[in-house]
Amino acid sequence: MARRFSRWRRQKGYPSEQALRHIEEAKRFSSEVGGVDNDVKQFFFSLPPHELRALFTEYGRRYGEDKRQYAEETYTDWKTGRRKMSGLVAQRLFDLLPNRMPLPKKYELVRKLWEYFCPKSHEVFYVGSGANTKVLHSRVSAHLEKVVQDYFISDQLSQKFEWLSGGDVGVRQQLQNYFQQLKREFVAQALKERLDVVSAHLKDSPEDHTVQTVRLGNHVVEIKCTHLADGVPDATTVNNIRAQKRRAEENKERLTSAFGCLFMIVVVIVLLKACAK
């Protein structure tokens, strides 16, 4: 019964159970390596013939000649996309690649891993009339420095560094040093955003309008306009002013409603007296 069902699926063009399992393994492996599996595959498929032969030879020594033969025979189908590489095979092949990667390529992957694994934050800064761009720059800088420097290398990322280093302690230290440098560069790059143009947009911008967005990895800083306070007020101050203004408007509406009701009562009384006469 199971065989007939599998044959029916193939006749209808559905992927086989093995193909589905390979797809699921590939998705799981992509998640495990921080989404850089496509970059590693691209590096694998770009290896020159002599390096590719050496890799397959090592693959055969480690996992068996039958596995090597399968990989060599399927290589072209993997490269053209006709067949999906399973997560298990990808894991085995990828474990052999780091020692063949030049350091700049590893740095490129560290950058992508940092963007993939770094935590997220979203902060709002308000600017009002007469805002000093130097003060704004200083506050944004301090915030970005904090969210970046407070992020240490997680266990997940540390494992990826271990994989990239291929067991070489010296290379691992270089990757960690680059990671620290990368964080500083990200801050510097984000602060190159032209915060001085903010003041030019304040006059014509409505309340709470985002006049600029600064992105640093998964961290986002929004610069918003406010007409409720001058300078560079903090978000708490702006929110308190808004709350006070909202309460004042609500009180005004209640008073207006009360006066309206009182006026109607007076009008009704006057009309009743007029009718009584």
**Does any domain span residue 10?**
no
Residue 185 has what pLDDT? 67
Q: Are residues 32 and 126 in the same domain?
A: no
**Does any domain span residue 132?**
yes
Q: Are residues 126 and 203 in the same domain?
A: yes
Using 70 as the pLDDT threshold, list the residues of the chain that sit under it: 1-35, 148-156, 183-203, 217, 251, 258, 260, 263, 266-268, 270-274, 276-277
Question: Which of 75, 100, 125 delimits the end of a domain?
Answer: 100
**Does any domain span residue 241?**
yes
Q: Residue 213 belongs to what H/E stretch?
A: strand 210-216
**Does any domain span residue 270?**
yes
- pTM of the predicted model, to two decimals? 0.55
Q: Are residues 150 and 129 in the same domain?
A: yes
Residue 204 has what pLDDT? 72
219-225 and 121-127 beta bridge pairing: parallel
Q: Are residues 137 and 215 in the same domain?
A: yes
Q: Are residues 226 and 251 in the same domain?
A: no
Q: Are residues 125 and 89 in the same domain?
A: no
Q: How far apart are CA 214 and CA 206, in angstroms?
A: 20
Q: Which residue has the tokens 């691992």?
A: 172
Q: Which residue has the tokens 């691209």?
A: 42
Q: How far apart are CA 83 and CA 41, in angstroms?
A: 14
Report residue 82 as tokens. Answer: 């006709």
Q: How far apart are CA 192 and CA 186, in angstroms?
A: 10
Report residue 246 as tokens. Answer: 């909202």
Q: Is 211 helix (H, G, I), strand (E, B) or coil?
A: strand
**Does any domain span residue 39?**
yes
Residue 12 has what pLDDT? 47
Q: Are residues 25 and 71 in the same domain?
A: yes
Could you tell me which of 168, 154, 199, 21 has the C-alpha nearest to residue 101?
168
**Does any domain span residue 108?**
no
How does DSSP classify residue 35?
A: T
Q: Are residues 36 and 91 in the same domain?
A: yes
Q: How many domains does the chain have?
A: 3
Residue 10 has what pLDDT? 47
Query: What are the C-alpha distances in Å from 227 to residues 204, 214, 231, 242, 246?
Result: 11, 21, 10, 10, 15
Residue 194 has what pLDDT? 57
Domain hosting 240: range is 236-277
Residue 9 has what pLDDT? 46
Contacts of 160 (CB under 8 A, 6+ apart): 33, 34, 113
What number of CA atoms fall less than 13 Å from residue 277's CA on the CB side? 5
Q: How far apart are CA 91 and CA 83, in angstroms?
A: 16
Largest CA distance in the chain: 116
**Does any domain span residue 253?**
yes
Alpha helices in the chain (DSSP H): 2-11, 17-32, 37-45, 49-63, 65-80, 87-96, 103-117, 133-149, 155-165, 169-190, 198-202, 235-276
Q: How far apart are CA 149 and CA 190, in angstroms?
A: 15
